[in-house]
Each structure stands twice: as structure tokens, then as C-alpha cells.
Structure 1
Amino acid sequence: MGRIKGAGFVYLKPGTTAWYWRVQVGGKRIARKLNAKNKDEAEKEAQKLAHIASVKSEEEVAVFAARSRKVIKDAEPGIELDKALKLFEKSPKRREAGKQRKAQYQSIYTYLTAFLAVSCPAISTLNEVTQGIVEEFAVKLKKEKGARSYNVYIGSLKTIFTTLLPDDKNPFDNIKKQAENPISSNDMTTEQINAVFAAADGEMALSLMHRPEMAVLFRLGAYTGLRLEDCCILKWTAVNLSQKIITWVPSKTKNSSGKPVHIPIHPALEKQLKTATAWKDESGYILPGVAERYSRNPSGIRQDAQKVIHWSLWKDKKEGIYPPKPDGKYGFHSFRHSFVSRCANAGVPMPVVQAIVGHSSSLVTRIYTHLADSTVRQIINALS
């Protein structure tokens, strides 16, 4: 019998040639057969497993106990954590994804492996990630991410595990999505929109990554009605400054109708786009810094946009005093609502606005119906 310093001991099972390693893990005694022919080889193999002795998580204890009982079969090859993402990207079972989505998978999977490295350091394969571990991960995720980001993370990881593991092995299957707060339907007035522009341009004292690009981002939202994602990843190939028009297939309908929208370029936006040519690079993005960050951390862009909007609309601005946490009344999506409302109030026909923001958008119908109801009410009230 040979003792491994701080990590159990190795022994030869009586009446056999099999060497085993025994260790106390989380209050439970676990024995594991080693691939060794003699004591020296057994001790070397045991040293490789010494980190298991530091395991404290009940879930990890369960994993190693299961291994020792052959519940996790040796015949079932494990997918190493550091190789899983590459296997996922090459899998024919995976749905085709664009560059932005691939980067998002990378960022989300890295977030998971970072969690595993701290919480479950003994785990080395995807197959060892149990539902209990995933539940602990989900608790941490809820604390650090909003409902929308939480759902994206869980959905993406579920896709990765479903693609790589057998149908009955996905630990994310029973993790429920969170209820998302409905997107703000509050329009912003022209004065409020201008206040947001001023804050992004430098009036706001709070720090802001890629501030010059973010200033253009807000103009794109206000003058095109595009969603945040599309504004972040818009490319120069979509912009025709000579004809003053933007032609773009929105991300939301890219895999369904695939129809492009054609948006006239407002003079104020044209000025901002000309400013943006100063940082034009080989990526082709109008906002290269914002696009790169959005691919890794979309919630970071969304939160910064929310921060600027909330600060600009805060009525009690005082130097050195920051506003309370945003209440969600206004957000980047408010630009889209305001765009449609301003078009409606200016008398732009509904089919024209639908062609700009997308025919499938229920937002246009809702706003125009509300406008029509108001008009009818005014007429009725005017009757003598």
C-alpha cells in the first residue's frame, strides 16, 4: 500500500493484478481502478488524479462515485471541455450560424467553462456536467445577467449540448427560461432624443466604451428604426451615401423571409455616417468597436445604451451624483417606437413605414391603429 501525500493511497487488490486508488472526497470514500502494472505506475497515475481530493461540491462527489460504480461507462467516450466547441462548430447536426452567432457561442461557452474551472475543477469532459451542476450555474447566471441575456445563454448552451451529446444526456433540458420584461413601448419626444444624443456626445460624465461609435449608434436607432442588433452590426456595404439610402436584411427575419428593408438616410444621420468613415477598417462594420463587443457581450452594449438613455432623461442631474437604477421605462427599442410614431404623425402612409421597418412588425399596425382611433375620437368629439 502506497500513500499519496494529501491525496489518498494506492493498493493492490488482493488476489488480482489490479491496482486501485482510494481517496476521501467530500466525506465519501471513493476507489478507482488505475491503468497500472506495478506500484510505481499506480502512484504516477494517482498523482494525476490528486486534484480530486480537493473536491467539495456534492455534484462532483456524485460524478466520481458514479465513475467508480461504472455508472459513467468507460465505453462511452467523454468529450473534452477544451475540444467541445470546435467539435460543435464542425458538427453536421449544427444549424448554420453567421460570424456574430459563432462569436456569441464562443463567449457563452467560455463563460460556462470558467464557471466549471472554479466550481468543479475536477471535471474535464462535457459528459460529466450533470443537471445539478447546471442548476448551480443557472443560479449564478441569474445573479449576473438580465432575463434576456440569461435566456440567450441557456438556449445557446442547450444547443451545444444537444448537438454533441446523446438525446437523453442534455443537463440543460430541464432549465427553464426566465420571463422577460416586455420591451419598452414608450416613445421618446424629440427633446428627449436630443438629450440622449447630447449625453452620448460627451455631456454625460459616466464612462462609456467606444463613445464616438456609441454616439453614432444612437443616431442609427433614431433615424432608421432598426433594432439594436442591426444597428450594431450594420455594414458599409448596406449604405449608399450617394443615393442616400440604407438597404439591409434585419437579423430577426434573415432566416425567414430574408427580405431587405430600404431606409432613406436622414440628413442628420448622413453627417454622422461621414464622421464614422474616420474609423472605417477591413471588418466592414460601420461601428467596428461596437460590433466586436456586441459579438462577445451583447448585454454590455444594451446596458450601456440603457445607462446613457436613463442618465439623459434624469431630471435631477447634479455633478457627482448619479441617477438610480434604470426603471426600464425607456430603452434603445424606444427609438424604434419613436421612429414609427414620428412617421405616423408626419402623415407617412402605413405601407411605406412597413416597408422601412419590416412588414411583419406588429408595432406599425399597433401605432397606426392607435393614431386612427385618436383621429376618429377627435372627429366624434367635434360633432355638434
Structure 2
Amino acid sequence: MKITTSPSLGKAKAETERLAFTPEEIEKIYEHAKTKGNDRLCVLIQLGAYTGCRIEELCRLRTESVVAIEGIESFKIEDSKTRAGIRSVPIHSHIKPLINRLVTNTKDGYLISTASNNKYGNRSDGLSKAFGRLKKELSFGKAYVFHSIRKTVITQLQRQDVPGILIAELVGHETGTVTFDVYSAGHSEGQKSAAIEKLAFKLT
């Protein structure tokens, strides 16, 4: 009898094999990108560290993605394959000047300019590969990818005593409970902003 493996199990295994960076390691990678004059990677790393967003979500942010919700400047993430992925993420005070600059200087409506989409329609492909080369230069192995920054954000929020339900909402994960995934309207933007502000990195 042929036994097939569910694609979701393979994805779950890949997730567990990825490791989180320490904040200091993210800062080291950022400084390396800065030294090499790679402004787009510098922007991408800052946005990843202060939002926990997926790389493709960041590369799809447009000027109209920057909105005011309950009086708080936030990113509206709408291009997602899951219901939980459609969400808002308050903009950390540290990157507000950067976001204002990106909105002002964009030439194509996107906050981060990239090469043309790959054959799957992904805008992040080129930058993902560039990040891979960058971290390899610093001797980070295969377990470290851009997604590792997302793991770092989740870890840091957890260590700052942010409730797991709130962390899941910020990063676009389902909680696995009917109570919160179906019936709850979610946390207020103020609650989410207070959580995001707990993230601290030396990225200047």
C-alpha cells in the first residue's frame, strides 16, 4: 500500500525546522545590509522586525495599505489566502518616519520596489534570495530564512507577556478556537498598538 504524505505536514515540518534569530542577530544582518548599501533589504528587515509580517505581505504593501484605524496609523493586510491573514497591524513608532518616506517616494505605488513577479506571481522572490545570500555571508545556515524574523517577533511578544490570542491576531494565525476565530471581533487597534510597541531593536 502506497502511503502519501500530506502537503500540510511537509509545511509544518519546514516551519519547525526554521529557527528564530535573536534580536542581536537581526541587528547584525541589518548592519551588514547597510554596509553593503542595500537599502531595500534594510527597509525589508525593519518592516519585518517591527510587524512580524510575511515577506510577501511586506512586498505587496501599497500606499493605500497605510490607513488610520481607530485613530491609529496601521498597515491593512488584505492580500492573504486565509481569513486570519486579512488583518491590520499598527505601525510601530520607530518606523513611522520610514513609512512616511516610502509613501512619499514610491514610483509604482508599492512601499518596497521589486523586480517583476516570478512565474508564481510573487513579488518577494528576488529580495528573498538576496536576503538568503546576505545571511549566508554571515554564516547563518539553512535553518535561518527571512521567515525567521517572524519567529523572532512572535518570541519577543511572548516574552513581553503579550497574550497568545493577541499575538496570533497580529501575525495572521488562527487561534484554533471557535470562540475567538468565529465569534470575536478581535482586539482593539489600541490593544494591538500597545503590543507592537513592545518590540525593540537597534535598527537605525
TM-score range, shorter chain: 0.5 to 0.7
Partner of 2:169: 355
What residue identity is the alignment partner of 1:292?
S
**Distance (Å, rounded) in 2 between the aligned partners of 1:358 and 1:212:** 27
Q: Secondary structure of the equivalent of 1:199?
A: helix
Rate the CA distance shift 1:360–1:291 in 2: closer, same or farther, 3 A.
farther
**Distance (Å, rounded) in 2 between the aligned partners of 1:300 and 1:307:** 11
1:233 equivalent in alignment to 2:60: yes
8 Å CA contact retained: 1:246, 1:262: yes
**Distance (Å, rounded) in 2 between the aligned partners of 1:259 and 1:296:** 17
1:234 CA drift (Å):
1.1
1:359 CA drift (Å):
3.3
Rate the CA distance shift 1:261–1:330 in 2: closer, same or farther, 3 A.
same
Partner of 2:90: 264
**Distance (Å, rounded) in 2 between the aligned partners of 1:331 and 1:258:** 23
**Distance (Å, rounded) in 2 between the aligned partners of 1:258 and 1:189:** 26
Rate the CA distance shift 1:267–1:258 in 2: closer, same or farther, 3 A.
closer
1:249 equivalent in alignment to 2:75: no
Q: What value does the CA root-mean-square deviation take over the aligned residues?
A: 2.9
1:109-150 CA distance string (max 9 Å, x none): xxxxxxxxxxxxxxxxxxxxxxxxxxxxxxxxxxxxxxxxxx
1:292 equivalent in alignment to 2:119: no
Partner of 2:21: 188
Q: Secondary structure of the equivalent of 1:187?
A: coil
1:213 CA drift (Å):
2.3
Matches within 5 A, 1:29-68: none
Rate the CA distance shift 1:246–1:279 in 2: closer, same or farther, 3 A.
same
TM-score when normalising by structure 1: 0.38
Partner of 1:197: 30
1:23-70 CA distance string (max 9 Å, x none): xxxxxxxxxxxxxxxxxxxxxxxxxxxxxxxxxxxxxxxxxxxxxxxx
Rate the CA distance shift 1:237–1:298 in 2: closer, same or farther, 3 A.
closer
**Distance (Å, rounded) in 2 between the aligned partners of 1:230 and 1:262:** 12
1:214 CA drift (Å):
2.4
1:220-245 CA distance string (max 9 Å, x none): 21111111111111112111377221
**Distance (Å, rounded) in 2 between the aligned partners of 1:233 and 1:259:** 13
8 Å CA contact retained: 1:250, 1:261: no
Rate the CA distance shift 1:193–1:271 in 2: closer, same or farther, 3 A.
farther
8 Å CA contact retained: 2:114, 2:126: no
Partner of 1:328: 142
1:351 CA drift (Å):
1.2
Q: Which ranges of 4 or more aligned residues in structure 1 deviate by more than 3 Å? A: 291-299
Residue number among 127, 146, 157 corresponding to 1:301 in the alignment: 127
1:61-101 CA distance string (max 9 Å, x none): xxxxxxxxxxxxxxxxxxxxxxxxxxxxxxxxxxxxxxxxx
Q: Secondary structure of the equivalent of 1:353?
A: helix
Partner of 2:189: none
Partner of 1:213: 40
Question: Which blocks of at least 5 consecutive residues in structure 2 are unaligned?
Answer: 1-6, 177-204
Overall identity of the aligned pairs, in %: 23
8 Å CA contact retained: 2:53, 2:171: yes
**Distance (Å, rounded) in 1 between the aligned partners of 2:87 and 2:66:** 12
Rate the CA distance shift 1:298–1:246 in 2: closer, same or farther, 3 A.
closer
What residue identity is the alignment partner of 2:67?
N
Q: Secondary structure of the equivalent of 1:193?
A: helix
8 Å CA contact retained: 1:214, 1:290: no
Q: Secondary structure of the equivalent of 2:18?
A: coil
Q: Which deviates further from its counterpart, 257-266 or 331-340?
A: 257-266
1:329 CA drift (Å):
2.0
**Distance (Å, rounded) in 1 between the aligned partners of 2:159 and 2:58:** 24
8 Å CA contact retained: 2:73, 2:91: yes
Q: Which deviates further from its counterpart, 295-304 or 229-238?
A: 295-304
1:328 CA drift (Å):
0.8
Question: Which blocks of at least 5 consecutive residues in structure 1 are unaligned?
Answer: 1-176, 315-325, 363-384
8 Å CA contact retained: 2:131, 2:146: yes
Q: Report the count of equivalent residues.
A: 162
TM-score when normalising by structure 2: 0.67
1:198 CA drift (Å):
1.1
1:309-346 CA distance string (max 9 Å, x none): 233x43xxxxxxxxxxx631211000110111000000
